Amino acid sequence: MSLLLNINVWPEKPWLARFRALLPDMEVVSAHAAFDRPSITYAAVWKPAHGSLVGLPNLKAILNLGAGVDHLLLDKTLPPVTLCRTVDQSLTSRMTEWIVMQCLMKLRRVQELQAAQARRAWAKELNSPDAHTVRIGVMGMGVLGADAATKLKMMGFDVAGWSNSGRTTADVPMFAGKAGLDPFLGRTDILVVLLPHTPETDDILNRALFQKLARDGRLGGPVLINAGRGGLQNEADILACLDDGTLHSAVLDVFRTEPLPDASPFWNHPKVTITPHNSADSDPEAVARYIARQIRLHQAGQPMESEVNVERGY
Task: Return the residue of 48, 66, 137, 161 that touches ligand OXD, per CB under 6 A.
Answer: 66
Question: Which does residue 109 bind out of ligand NDP, ligand OXD, none, counting CB within 5 to 8 angstroms by kind?
Answer: none
CB count, 10 Å around CB of 128?
Answer: 16
**Catalytic residue from among 85, 94, 277, 298:** 277
Task: Return the residue of 8, 52, 198, 211 that touches ligand NDP, per CB under 6 A.
Answer: 198
Task: Return the residue of 5, 67, 185, 214 that touches ligand OXD, per CB under 6 A.
Answer: 67
CB count, 10 Å around CB of 243?
Answer: 12
Q: Rounded to an integer, what distance in angstroms lies between the CA atom of residue 166 and that of residue 173?
A: 9
Using rule CB under 6 A, residue 206 touches ligand NDP: no
Interface residues for ligand NDP in 68-107 (CB under 6 A)?
Answer: 68, 95
Least CB distance from residue 9 to ligand OXD, whole Å?
Answer: 9
Using rule CB under 6 A, residue 174 touches ligand NDP: no
Q: Classify residue 133 by its DSSP letter.
A: G
Residue nearest to ligand OXD (CB): 66
Using rule CB under 6 A, residue 185 touches ligand NDP: no
The answer to whether 134 and 217 have CB atoms below 8 angstroms apart is yes
**Catalytic residue from among 18, 71, 94, 229:** 229
CB count, 10 Å around CB of 104?
Answer: 15
Give every CB contact of residue 270 below 8 A, 6+ residues apart in sequence.
none
HEC-encoded secondary structure of 193-227: ECCCCCCCCCCCECHHHHCCCCCCCCCCCCEEEEC
Closest CB to ligand OXD among residues 249, 282: 282
Interface residues for ligand NDP in 124-143 (CB under 6 A)?
Answer: 140-143
Q: In whole angstroms, how far apart are CA 118 and each of 23, 114, 250, 273?
A: 53, 6, 22, 17
Among this protein's residues, is 50 annotated catalytic? no
3-state secondary structure of 295: helix
Residues marked as catalytic: 229, 277
Binding site for ligand NDP (CB under 6 A): 66-68, 95, 140-145, 163-165, 167, 194-198, 200-201, 227-229, 253-254, 277, 279-280, 314
Binding site for ligand OXD (CB under 6 A): 66-68, 280, 282
